[in-house]
């Protein structure tokens, strides 16, 4: 399964990957294409799962895998520049090797609960990264799912991640509706202007859908409230969480909330499950 020299018996020892392409998505987001040293993906994963990436000497951190598992040629990570490791990653060039271990965590239930359902994806900013894996998985297995709606917003047009793929591919797909929004009016933008949670309420979606939400904590909070106002039940809404992690295997203790470890019991939670956790995320 794994072809990146990953030590078979110890989870904490990473394998190697090589960055084969770097796409500048926004002023602070780059998407890194990563291959195993002998080509292909470093390991198999399911949409929503994560990987520990590191540049030795700089740091190691958990990132969601933004490429779909149906893409067996390479893996992709959309990474926002916001800390030591990510700043370093934003300076690397194609050909740079990195360490990688995973996959970690659970996945969105794409082969169970999501099957046959109409899906409503709601993302804010870099929150598109984990959802893009699901969206492309669903597009690849189109006949297994119902109608797809995608609501995606960012601060400005330049801050929309994966913009070209959205416009060239998602918007041209049958039975997929894409609703883009930006926070403030700007020249050259004739689309919707306003925050994601408000836009979701305006769009008045049917409640016979499964919603998948990811974005900044504040956006998630207001979007969940908006969905409830529209009549969605918490069992119909999924999100994915982010907490500090060091081991990725439920032992180092950092991502513990209540009796759950986000790295192994999450990062994907159904919103009624989140309700059972202490409010500490």
User: What are the tokens at 151?
Assistant: 């609501």
Query: How far is it, in rounded angstroms, from Cα 191 to Cα 259?
Result: 43
ω into 267 cis (within 30 of 0): yes
Distance CA 232, CA 208 (A): 8
Minimum CB distance to other proteins smaller for 174 or for 279: 279
CB 81 within 8 A of CB 28: yes
Sign of CA dihedral 228, 229, 232, 233: positive
Distance between CA atoms of 194 and 47, rounded to whole angstroms? 29
Query: Is position 38 an interface residue for other proteins (rule: CB under 8 A)?
Result: no
Q: Report, in Å, the least distance between residue 95 CB and other proteins.
A: 5
The whole-angstrom distance between residue 242's C-alpha and the CA centroid of its chain comes to 10
Q: Which stretch binds other proteins (CB under 8 A): 14-22, 26-34, 69-77, 165-173?
A: 14-22
- Work out whether 149 is an interface residue with other proteins (CB under 8 A): no
Rounded least distance, CB 101 to other proteins, Å: 11
**Cα dist. 150→116, 182, 185, 267 in Å?**
17, 14, 21, 21
Among the listed ranges 21-29, 63-71, 170-178, 250-258, the one in contact with other proteins (CB under 8 A) is 250-258
Q: Does 109 bind other proteins (CB under 8 A)?
A: no
* Dist CA 188 CA 149 (whole Å): 24
Take residue 35 and report the two structure tokens written for it.
């291959």
Q: Give the residue, chosen from 84, 167, 171, 225, that forms a contact with other proteins under the rule CB under 8 A.
A: 84
- What is the side-by-side strand order in the sheet with 209-214? 192-193, 176-182, 148-154, 118-124, 209-214, 237-240, 268-270
In the chain the beta strands, taken as DSSP E runs, fall at 15-26, 29-36, 50-55, 59-64, 75-80, 97-104, 118-124, 148-154, 176-182, 192-193, 209-214, 237-240, 256-257, 260-261, 268-270
Pick the binder of other proteins from 203, 246, 270, 273 (CB under 8 A).
246
**Binds other proteins by CB under 8 A, chosen from 38, 57, 187, 190:** 57
Interaction of residue 10 with other proteins, rule CB under 8 A: yes
- Residues between 187 and 226 that touch other proteins (CB under 8 A): 217
Q: Using the rule CB under 8 A, is 230 a contact of other proteins?
A: no
CB of 178 to other proteins, least distance (A): 27
Binding mask 261-280 for other proteins (x = CB under 8 A): -----------------x-x
Is 159 a binder of other proteins (CB under 8 A)?
Answer: no
Of 64 and 86, the one with the shorter C-beta distance to other proteins is: 86
Q: Which of 107, 242, 268, 269 binds other proteins (CB under 8 A)?
A: 242
Choose the binding region for other proteins from 4-12, 155-163, 167-175, 188-196 (rule: CB under 8 A).
Answer: 4-12
Residue numbers at the binding site for other proteins (CB under 8 A): 5, 7, 9-16, 56-60, 82-84, 86, 92-93, 95-99, 217, 242-244, 246-247, 249-254, 256-259, 278, 280-281
């Amino acid at each position: 399964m794994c072809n990146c020299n990953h030590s078979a018996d110890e989870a904490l020892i990473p394998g190697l990957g090589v960055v084969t392409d770097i796409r500048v998505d926004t002023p602070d987001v780059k998407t890194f294409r990563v291959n195993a040293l002998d080509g292909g993906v470093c390991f198999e994963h399911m949409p929503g799962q994560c990987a520990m990436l590191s540049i030795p000497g700089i740091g190691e951190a958990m990132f969601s895998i933004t490429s779909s598992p149906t893409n067996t040629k390479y893996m992709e990570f959309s990474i926002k520049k916001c800390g030591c490791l990510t700043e370093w990653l934003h300076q690397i060039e194609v050909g740079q090797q990195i360490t990688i271990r995973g996959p970690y965590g659970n996945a969105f239930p794409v082969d169970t609960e999501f099957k046959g359902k109409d899906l409503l994806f709601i993302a804010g900013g870099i929150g598109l990264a984990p959802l893009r894996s699901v969206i492309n998985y669903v597009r690849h297995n189109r006949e297994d799912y119902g109608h797809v709606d995608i609501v995606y917003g960012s601060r400005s047009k330049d801050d929309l991640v994966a913009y070209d793929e959205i416009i060239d591919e998602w918007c041209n797909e049958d039975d997929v509706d894409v609703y883009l929004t930006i926070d403030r009016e700007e020249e050259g933008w004739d689309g919707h202007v306003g925050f994601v949670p408000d836009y979701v309420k305006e769009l008045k979606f049917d409640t016979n859908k499964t919603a998948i939400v990811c974005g900044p904590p504040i956006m998630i909070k207001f979007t969940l409230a908006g969905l409830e106002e529209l009549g969605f039940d918490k069992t119909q809404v999924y999100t994915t969480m982010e907490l500090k992690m060091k081991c990725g295997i439920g032992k180092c203790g950092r991502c513990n909330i209540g009796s759950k470890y986000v790295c192994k019991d999450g990062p994907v939670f159904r919103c009624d499950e989140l309700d059972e956790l202490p409010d500490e995320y």
